[in-house]
Structure 1
Amino acid sequence: MNRTMLVPSAKARRTREASILALLGVLIVVIFIVSMNTGFMRLSPLDVLHTLLGEGTQQQKLILFDFRLPRIVISLLIGAGFAVSGSILQGLSRNALAEPSTLGINAGAGFAVLIFISFVPATTAAPIFVLPLLALAGAALTATLIYFLSYRRADGLSPTRLILIGIAVGAGIYAFQLILSLRLDPQNYQFVAIWLAGKIWGGDWRFVLALLPWILTLLPFAFYKARVLNVLNLGDETSKGLGLPLERERLLLAAAVALAGACVSVSGGIGFVGLIAPHLARRLVGPRHQIMLPAAALIGALLLLTADTIGRWILQPTEIPTGIVVAIIGAPYFLYLLAKSKA
């Protein structure tokens, strides 16, 4: 009887999960369409349709294909990348507050990119494709430093110590960023200030091509390792008892760092996406990473695209950096989670 009751339950769960993923996909399509119609230069839905069919004016084609669509695609890629990176970090550390920005990984990646763009303006294709590599180097060095400062032979990797050291290291790196920015000329300083606020500054197809290989490689790898994250959530001792090679599988950290670094290279200091998306995904589909990771990726993409659309619309003709819009949403949620964890 119990076996008969379990089958419909599993089927109902899978149906519910598929429905949630489909709903998230539909919402992304809706915001995608809204975003194509949002900006200082107004394009009606009919204008967008005509332009997509090749019947628009040269100005409409320029606005849609050269400015809006690349930025929309970049928003989707960055949102998915940050969300999956945060999901991996939370799974590895077993800490609900872990994500690239709170662990200082975004700060390390941003510092490496900041040094580069401060002295070598990214005006050609070559520097643009180098930026993700520089961000990866900065993120990797920061993550390595945080890992070694957090690890103790007696009790291993403490989730609480990991978060506290990550916040401290991130704060130190942000201080160095401010010092560096004060030495810049006014034009570069203005650019760096906007970049640090989280403006999606990579607004053409070259940045899409620079970011796309990282996302297309690392997201499937993370999905493939979903079962490993499920086991790691059970704790180190249980994982060892199940025969999981802990140190080798913790190399998943490299995938999380690479995702965050690549995203920071074109998005600036956007935080909280890697914190909010995994939590919402768990509430919607449960903790199984096989379904939670894709759900988090969709939620992250939806969140960042929505934030970018709001930022371009709310104070036209100027725009609010996407990172500020996300922070308005994410900061209260972070405080809520922090208070809840102390309880």
Structure 2
Amino acid sequence: MSERQAVSTYEQRRKLRGMTVMLILALLIVAVFIISMNTGYIRLSPLDLIRTLFGQGSDQENLILFEFRLPRIVISVLIGAGLAVSGAVMQGIFRNPLADPGILGINSGAGLMVMLLVSFYPTTQAMPVFLLPLLAFVGAGLTAALIYSLSYTRNKGIRPIRLMLTGIAVAAGIQAAMIVLTLRLKPEQYQFVATWLAGSIWGTNWKFVLSLLPWIVVLVPYIIYRARVMNVLQMGEQMATSLGENVRKEQFRLLAAAVALAAASVAVSGGIAFVGLVGPHLARRLVGPKHQMLLPVSALIGALLVIAADTIGRWILQPSGVPTGIVVAVIGAPYFLYLLARAKS
């Protein structure tokens, strides 16, 4: 067998492995989706669930399934995919395995804008739902620009450790500002902010699905389309430039898309961290570092992680439940410590 044939055979096997992994993940998401529809304070038997899905349910069953559970489940899938792809992009363009929208402070910047919006409205129901992702993007974009400018050095560009420390410091400063702002909030507004900070999926109706869906539908395919460019950027700035890529321009485009994904997701989900860290890492272990497979697998893993965490959170301590962000943190924090230990070694 010639070298070209060997490479072609390896690529075919890698592609087949990636497609198999995506199929398994998609089936797992469907299974958890079905389980999640039957998880809550009021249980629906499988027969009741099927009957309600086909329009034969009672008024109470229709209300529970179509107005309360299905929007929340769909939002969980969209949030997970958005945060995971955003994390994969940041890890790729910064060449930092610990990059994550939550750890780098991007989520905090988006949250600050959401909190400022909350402080100007007497109730959360009065807030302009479709304006939330846009305002969150402004806050996240300004935060990303600040972190990038503080981390960049003329001689060495973006250094991973400097980027990480800068992101943590900026996030701490923003969270301190958010705590100060809570002092002027009314009790119902403070309750909302506390719920948001814990990572509870608070946007649970179809309006929030419609406000988030365009960002996911447009930006995730765009980032996957730019997968080849991300492969080149991972080789380093000098190598990418020698191959004809405009590194600064491509980094800006991809970073803007990643920040927009994280901001739109955070606007309706609250401060859910670690999804953008865990998803890409698990995807990299399953299908390798090439972004043509890494990005879609990351999206599926992120969607599976958030929908499973939300289902577990609604099942524990009923009827109040546990915020999704806490369940994700229980999974993600030990993995983050594991990655730090590996980085030190």
TM-score (norm 1): 0.98
Partner Cα separation in structure 2 for residue 334 and residue 218 of structure 1? 26
Partner Cα separation in structure 1 for residue 68 and residue 232 of structure 2? 44
Structure-1 residue corresponding to 2:267: 265
CA shift for structure 1 position 243: 1.0
Does the Cα contact within 8 Å between 2:124 and 2:189 map onto a contact in 1?
no
1:106 matched to 2:89: no
Q: Secondary structure at the match of 1:250?
A: helix
Structure-2 residue corresponding to 1:40: 41
Q: Secondary structure at the match of 1:234?
A: coil
One-letter identity of the residue aligned with 2:330: I
**Structure 1 regions of 5+ residues with no counterpart?**
none
CA shift for structure 1 position 287: 0.5
Structure-2 residue corresponding to 1:123: 125
One-letter identity of the residue aligned with 1:38: T
Structure-2 residue corresponding to 1:72: 73
Partner Cα separation in structure 1 for residue 71 and residue 193 of structure 2? 21
Partner Cα separation in structure 1 for residue 94 and residue 11 of structure 2? 29
Does the Cα contact within 8 Å between 1:84 and 1:297 map onto a contact in 2?
yes
CA shift for structure 1 position 316: 1.0
Structure-2 residue corresponding to 1:253: 255
Partner Cα separation in structure 2 for residue 237 and residue 4 of structure 1? 30
Q: What are the Cα deviations for residues 230-271 of structure 1, in whole angstroms up to 9, with x where unaligned?
A: 001101111111111011101210001000110110001000
Does the Cα contact within 8 Å between 2:141 and 2:256 map onto a contact in 1?
yes
Structure-2 residue corresponding to 1:335: 337
Identity over the aligned pairs, expressed in percent?
61
Q: What are the Cα deviations for residues 138-162 of structure 1, in whole angstroms up to 9, with x where unaligned?
A: 0000001011111111211112111
Structure-2 residue corresponding to 1:141: 142
Q: What are the Cα deviations for residues 9-46 of structure 1, in whole angstroms up to 9, with x where unaligned?
A: 33222221111100000000000000000000111111
Give the 5 Å matches for 1:77-92: 77-92=78-93
Does the Cα contact within 8 Å between 1:122 and 1:128 map onto a contact in 2?
no
Structure-1 residue corresponding to 2:184: 183
Partner Cα separation in structure 2 for residue 83 and residue 13 of structure 1? 21
Give the 5 Å matches for 1:164-313: 164-251=165-252, 252-313=254-315
Partner Cα separation in structure 2 for residue 210 and residue 242 of structure 1? 39
Partner Cα separation in structure 1 for residue 264 and residue 272 of structure 2? 12
What is the count of residue pairs matched by the alignment?
A: 342
Structure-2 residue corresponding to 1:59: 60
One-letter identity of the residue aligned with 2:285: R
One-letter identity of the residue aligned with 1:274: G
Q: What are the Cα deviations for residues 98-130 of structure 1, in whole angstroms up to 9, with x where unaligned?
A: 010111000000000011012213324x71011
One-letter identity of the residue aligned with 1:254: A
- CA-based RMSD: 1.0
CA shift for structure 1 position 282: 0.3
One-letter identity of the residue aligned with 1:133: L
**Structure 2 regions of 5+ residues with no counterpart?**
none
